[in-house]
Amino acid sequence: MPSSDKFHDECGVVAIFAHPEAEKLAYLGLHALQHRGQESAGIVTSDGLTSRVHRAMGLVADIFTEDVLSKMRGSLAIGHTRYSTAGDSALLNAQPILVQSNKGAIAVAHNGNLVNATEIRGRLERQGSIFQTNSDTEVIVHLIALSKEQTLPEAMADALRRVEGAFSLVMMSNDRIFAARDPRGFRPLAMGRIPALEGQRRDTVVFASETCAFDLIGATYERDVKPGELVVVGPEGTSSRFYSTSAPQSSCIFEHVYFSRPDSVVFGRAVQTSREELGRQLAREAPVDADLIVPVPDSGVTAAVGYAAESGIPFRFALIRNHYVGRTFIEPRQSVRDFGVKLKLNPVRSLLQGNRVVLVDDSIVRGTTSRKIVRMIRNAGAKEVHLRISCPPTISPCYYGVDTPSKKQLIAANQSVEEIREYIGADSLAYLSLEGLKKACGEGETTSYCSACYTGKYPTNIVDVDEILPATVRP
Ligand code: SF4
């Protein structure tokens, strides 16, 4: 993404069962999932008897050096890459969480957000439980440990029935992998397989937030873990149980709009198909007489391809992204206007000069970055700039694992489309309709979606609103 004026992804999880280099496959899987979170990463491995953990702040390739991985060899592994959504981003809250309990070693990696974690935590603390982190995930670990059920799968099912909200989980004991999704299926979790290597007794079973992780480790996508399902993979084979079946499915539609990689299959549907169709639908709903379709890289690229294909207007990369931008940069003493955006994006004047441009992006959060980009394109000589957004106005925060600003910071929650257009300085501005969004993402085909950030209608009771609102828009 060219800017931090964007929604932030939640987390990515991966699990490997029965591979002689499980730690390396987990590492590669996390590497492919880093678009979902880059603040910290961790892996827990097991050789069947003992579990080892390594977690650190930073990027996967920096954390897991050859030396680190050589000390945590195992045949089972789970991994997690994190962008903080609940609890602060300190190492303390990095995952997976590994604990020794009365049911043996349990490791847990979580993508999503629980909406009743504070309530449960308060109750458990009053009963004497001691928490090590301020992450909502630890609640699940305590509930598993405290469950009266005799077997670990039953204790997990018992714990999962007590929590509310969004969770795609991979968990591990010394000799088993467990994968579960919340009953509404907010976040994705896919299951795949690597055929047994020569001399290996069984296939390797893998799980990952997105199927792009499978491609890198040579696994084939088999199916999604279903909402309300707990899959157990162990020495005896793979088994599945539904710990809950009561809730209607509400998978996060924003996974298709922005979060997931276009080369992934998410909720049983290719993200590329949805994203291109978002652009086509946008062109049908909000056509404009123009000379060029220009994406905001990388977020707007696939939708812009769709818009160009549907409208017949040529597609051009007239904004070039610098891929080598770190988190902080030293600015010259005499400050440069729009310095942050200019560091990341530069216009191609020869393409823009004298042309009417349709600029395509996937969202507007506060509007500050869109305003700078429009100004940049005009300054490069464009005659007109028409902004098209491949989803409806975002009017409400997410409570299910996506870092959104509070309502007062979301521009569309406070201003009309015309007011936003004026602020941004575009000649015209149009968003995709909610119906168009759902149609483009195949609502009702392989899944039904949550679209609460566009409607304010949430599929769960929201219990811990204050606790789970990250709400800080980074400058
Ligand atoms: S509120 Fe929006 S971002 Fe959050 S789960 Fe629902 S659709 Fe996804």
Tell me the domain boundaries of the chain. Answer: 3-250, 271-322+330-444
Once rounded to an integer, what is the mean pLDDT over residues 193-205?
91
Quote the Cα angle for 320-326-330, to 5°.
Answer: 100
DSSP secondary structure letters along 106-172: EEEEEES-BSSHHHHHHHHHHTT---S-S-THHHHHHHHHH---SSHHHHHHHHHHH--B--EEEEE
* 136, two tokens: 């909502």
Q: Are 233 and 45 in contact (CB under 8 A)?
A: no
- If one residue of 11, 252, 278, 457 were mutated to test the ligand 1 pocket, choosing by the most ligand atoms within 8 A of its CB, it would be 252
**Does residue 437's CB lie within 6 angstroms of at least one atom of ligand 1?**
no
The model's confidence at residue 38, banded by pLDDT at 50, 70 and 90, is confident
pLDDT, residue 379, reads 95
Q: Whose CA is nearest to atom 2 of ligand 1?
A: 453
Report, at the CATH architecture level, how domain 271-322+330-444 is classified: 3-Layer(aba) Sandwich (3.40)
Once rounded to an integer, what is the mean pLDDT over residues 420-429?
98
**Does residue 398's CB lie within 6 angstroms of at least one atom of ligand 1?**
yes
Contacts of 306 (CB under 8 A, 6+ apart): 275, 276, 277, 278, 279, 280, 281, 282, 283
Q: Whose CA is nearest to atom 8 of ligand 1?
A: 252
- If one residue of 181, 398, 434, 438 were mutated to test the ligand 1 pocket, choosing by the most ligand atoms within 8 A of its CB, it would be 398
Which has the closest alpha carbon to 188: 171, 166, 218, 172? 166
Atom of ligand 1 nearest to the CA of 394: 2
- Report pLDDT digits (tens) over 154-198: 999 999 999 999 999 999 999 999 999 999 999 999 999 999 988
What are the strands of the beta sheet with 237-242, ordered from one edge?
Answer: 97-101, 104-111, 168-172, 177-181, 229-234, 237-242
Which has the closest alpha carbon to 38: 300, 295, 367, 403? 403
Coil, helix or strand at residue 378: helix
pLDDT, residue 470, reads 41
Please tell me the class of the 3-250 domain: alpha beta
pLDDT, residue 208, reads 98
Q: Give yes or no: 453 in active site.
A: no
pLDDT, residue 79, reads 98
The model's confidence at residue 3, banded by pLDDT at 50, 70 and 90, is very low
pLDDT, residue 56, reads 93
